[in-house]
Amino acid sequence: MMTVNEVSQLTGVSIRALHYYDQIGLLPAAGHTDSGYRLYDDAALERLQQILLFRELEFPLKDIRKILQNSAFDREKTLEQQIELLKLKKQHIEDLIALAEKTKTTGETIMDFTAFDTQKIKAYAAQAKQQWGATPEYKEYEEKTARKTEKEISDMGGQLMKIIAAFGTMQTMDPAAPEVQAQVKKLQDFISAHYYTCSKMILNQLGQMYAAGGAFTENINAAGGPGTAEFAQKAIEVYCS
């Protein structure tokens, strides 16, 4: 067991912060000395490490508490997602460094703002939060699927993919075309009916996630053809604006 002072020295977290984490139920002390001082065991330190990783990813304390208190919390899966988010942040920082170095070398202003784009990070974080159960939308999804069989859930996912894949046949059209926008509305309605209430803000986040690369983008483009995910994102962006 370690005292609060020892934990503070080991982790760099202030004693005041550790006291606060205990008060709000985020990091309860494992025990107390006869004098009433907080004590922390290995399990508490492991939990603190999870908290600090989430803090590095700029998650609010209230969201971290909800995630860690969720009965479905999967430490290994969470670590994988945290690693992916940290890699995205690393790439973002490297892009900014490269832009600054290029500007310094040329002595001119580089009219390229892509290095400031954080949409991939936001989209992946939104996806991860839903899986961690830290959002009302995920809770609504759990309620709607609680009585469904695995086959019914799988079939539902297949229907959703068909709706998204249909954007592949529309790529010759303008994303703002009525037919394309009607397909976006169909997608929004399906998600609201079978998963969770899909506001325009959430729909826009999903669109960014579809085109952010990785498994989602690959699966959508495999179903609808190359460029489907990217076109769907553009159509959703028009709809949500």
Could you give all domains of the chain from N- to C-terminal order, each with its CATH number?
Answer: 2-59 (1.10.1660.10), 135-240 (1.10.490)
pLDDT at 93 over 60: yes
pLDDT at 215: 62
The structure tokens listed for 67 are 């995630």
What per-residue confidence (pLDDT) applies to 39?
A: 92
> In this predicted structure, what is the pLDDT of residue 144?
81
In the structure, what pLDDT confidence band is assigned to residue 43 with cuts at 50, 70 and 90?
Answer: confident
Using CA atoms, how far apart are residues 97 and 104, in angstroms rounded to an integer?
Answer: 10
pLDDT(72) > 80? no
Average pLDDT over residues 193-209: 87
The pLDDT of residue 115 is above 70: no
The pLDDT value given to residue 110: 58
Residue 140 or 221, more confident: 221
Mean pLDDT, residues 119-141: 67
Q: What is the mean pLDDT of residues 211-233?
A: 86
Is this prediction's pTM over 0.75?
Answer: no
The pLDDT value recorded for residue 231 is: 97
Q: Which residue has the tokens 């169909």?
A: 186
Q: What is the pLDDT of residues 57-66, one digit of tens each?
A: 777 888 788 7
* Residue 112 pLDDT: 62
Lowest-pLDDT choice from 38-52, 102-116, 170-184: 102-116
> Which carries the bigger pLDDT value, residue 68 or residue 237?
237
Residue 224 has pLDDT above 60, yes or no: yes
CA 206 to CA 187: how far, in whole Å?
11
pLDDT of amino acid 158:
87
Picking from 20-24, 75-79, 178-182, which range would have the lowest pLDDT averaged per residue? 75-79
